[in-house]
A and B are shown apart, each in its own frame.
Chain A
């Protein structure tokens, strides 16, 4: 997306336009109206007297609405524009647009107003990869509406455009000839509806009648219902607010639970159900919006793998990676119906199930998902452990369109030895073993307390203890004093130093002496950039500060590392990681990006942007929430909320009021008492 683009969204529908409100898609300008993974408008261009307009100002009223103030010509101090044009747009199942044209002159005026409209119906994968279509496009006038359509066999997608007052439907779009008296105003309204047909057709709430009235309030519910934050260091309040708004924007209403939301992975390319992303974001948001976790668990449980299917990398009990509904998925040119190429989502599903109960006390959901949880545990021991060595490893079965790396660092070159060489498949990455350890321990509790199965509980505890012992032996790189990134296909330790060791602290699999060594590495100059922990240490052969998973800093990664540091008692270190990322947020307008460059802070003085495709991105949005949990030391203990603050002096104090949970509603307060190093000068300039 261009930095000059404007995005508004609602569930799986979103509009990306330029700052005039125009959509003029090209292979490099990926603007459009997207719904259910398909582009339903690729051209929506307003002209007055044959000329495109220029933007005076653009306002993102809300995440689902925007308005554009426009004039013809470039406008100068010498020539006042004779007319103003305002476009107000709100998204929801398509979009709704109000157009107002005002004559500022004392003279009468005749105008030719036109909207060029077209739709390429590109699958979102085609947009990303610039692929060509296999079906036929058509356009027709139907009941006063302009209908743009696409057909491939029985696959039909249509865009219905209705104008009020009715427009002349001409080849290429809609047209008005209007007459304005002196200082007179003219208004028109356009409803653009995306129609998918069949089970994808849903009665979605149509927004836009009054964006600031009731519909707007309903849309913001998670924001207003979330705990109130007070912090004298104001940037934290702004970042928190931004996170809650973005989390609301990223709510996705899946077909299997159309009235409940889960977090989609990111705008614009990842407005879909993702196993790993939805689970981790739900985990981050538990103290703030616990309902997201309930929906995530229910939907992922309902779509759990039931069979062996190489094309989709599906196996019984496995939790999905990504679910799509565009043309390429429908015709099985892509495996996302759903695709199961993830080795970590299954243990993470179990981790979230337990964590959700710990926070909410909702044992009913745990009992309701017993069958799915048992199937997930079987997957870990059977299909997940491909060679029976006691570790979960991955290798794609779909060699053509499947993912090579099925851990969170899923780019092709992320798993490298210290000398930079790629590790051969199958790969057992270290953090996945930590998740398995954590999942088994947590499920032991669930088996004992909810599933009435003490034998299973005992077995899982034994297996977890054995795994921990084995892991601390097999993954430890003695000569360098940290855990290997992975075991490769030949069972060699992949000996590069990476942020993955921080996840081992989160899961608790690291023995205490080894955890301390990991902590020292995490806080070393090689891994800690000053803003956060890099994905790969600067000392490694594969390090690249602007490499996607081999040197950049990922806020979500750091949020789990900070929680892990707190679990092992490293309070100052956790606070330092949290503060670094929260300070970085100031440079990104309080919206943390998916990732930023790993250059040392003392050299660049500001975090360098990484040209990432998604903003907002769900788990980056969730990162400040998990940092707040770490800083305040929030942990459910029985029916109570434990608060054990470890807050940097710079933040002075944090007050978080109205934390929902099994205790009802609780407040947490903490004073900033820790001396934590930061680069205050550059940060204060950014605020």
Chain B
């Protein structure tokens, strides 16, 4: 059930959870996920506050539930999904870029850092 899975993604975000990659970032997102609902996510200097709401936000991301989950799981790249027309991104694109930085690179693209010889 992809809509429930989407809901879980937001419910698993703890109130005030800190993400170091968002340190210094202030802004708000609205995720409109077709068939699943709308969520408002506020970021205050790296602390995340998510709730189910269709309140307007600085950055709006719209997509199908399946695409959303693939992006969250790092199986689909947010930027190329937007270029393909699978995801609609509007408003503050710099915030969208920050979100992109939090999720995976896309299917099969992950790699690990190379270890250096000691």
Contact = CB atoms under 8 A, between A and B. Distances in A.
Contact of B77 (A154, A303, A337): A337
B101 A306 contact: yes
Contacts of B84: 153-155, 330-331
A307 B110 contact: yes
Contacts of A191: none
Interface stretch (B10-18, B29-37, B87-95): B87-95
A212 interface: no
B83 interface: yes
B26 interface: no
Given A306-B101, A386-B116, A311 B82 contact: no
Interface in B53-107: 77, 79-80, 82-90, 93-94, 96-97, 101-102, 104-106
Given A197-B85, A307-B110, A308-B110, A332 B77 contact: yes
A314 B111 CA distance: 9
A680 interface: no
Interface in A174-211: 197-200
A325 B105 CA distance: 16
A387 B24 contact: no
B21 interface: yes
B85 A311 contact: no
Nearest to B86: A154
Most chain B CB atoms below 10 A, which of A311, A315, A371, A383: A311
B105 A314 contact: yes
A310 interface: yes
Interface residues of B, number: 33
A329 B117 contact: no
A329 B80 contact: yes
Nearest to B101: A306
Contacts of A383: 113
A395 to B, nearest CB: 10
Contact of A256 (B93, B111, B114): B93
Interface residues of A, number: 36
B106 A332 contact: yes
Contact of B109 (A198, A256, A303, A311): A311
Interface string B18-30: 0001011000000
A124 to B, nearest CB: 14
B85 A154 contact: yes
Interface string A395-420: 00100000000000000000000000
Contacts of B77: 332, 337
A198 B82 contact: yes
A153 B76 CA distance: 15
A490 B110 CA distance: 28
A329 B93 contact: no
B116 A156 contact: no
Contact of B85 (A155, A257, A308): A155
A108 interface: no
Contacts of B88: 198-199
B89 A199 contact: yes
Contacts of A302: 94, 97
A154 B64 CA distance: 12
A255 interface: yes
Given A306-B21, A332-B77, A155 B113 contact: no
Nearest to A324: B83
Nearest to B87: A198
Most chain A CB atoms below 10 A, which of B106, B108, B111, B112: B111
Nearest to A316: B113
Given A199-B90, A307-B110, A310-B111, A330 B83 contact: yes
A308 B97 contact: no
Contacts of B93: 199, 255-256
Given A198-B89, A371-B24, A256 B94 contact: yes
A556 interface: no
Given A307-B105, A312-B109, A397-B111, A332 B80 contact: yes
A234 to B, nearest CB: 45
Nearest to B104: A307
B49 to A, nearest CB: 21
Nearest to A315: B113
A386 B109 contact: no
Contacts of B102: 306
Interface string A329-366: 11110000100000000000000000000000000000
Nearest to B64: A154
Contact of A331 (B80, B104, B105): B80
Contact of A309 (B82, B86, B96, B111): B111
Contact of B83 (A303, A312, A325, A385): A325
Contacts of A329: 80, 83
A556 B78 CA distance: 36
Most chain B CB atoms below 10 A, which of A310, A337, A382: A337
A200 B101 contact: no
A512 interface: no
B82 A199 contact: yes
Contacts of B104: 307
Contacts of B116: 385-388
Nearest to A298: B94
A155 B80 CA distance: 10
A549 to B, nearest CB: 27
Contacts of B96: 199
Contact of A386 (B79, B108, B114): B114
Contacts of B109: 309-312
A308 B113 contact: yes
19 contacts: A153-B85, A154-B85, A198-B88, A200-B83, A256-B93, A256-B97, A303-B97, A307-B110, A308-B113, A309-B106, A310-B109, A315-B113, A330-B84, A331-B80, A331-B84, A337-B79, A382-B113, A383-B113, A397-B111
Q: Can you list the 10 inter-chain pairs with the closest CB atoms, starting with the nearest?
A: A330-B83, A154-B85, A388-B116, A309-B105, A306-B101, A310-B111, A199-B89, A311-B109, A308-B111, A330-B84
Interface of B: 21, 23-24, 77, 79-80, 82-90, 93-94, 96-97, 101-102, 104-106, 108-114, 116-117
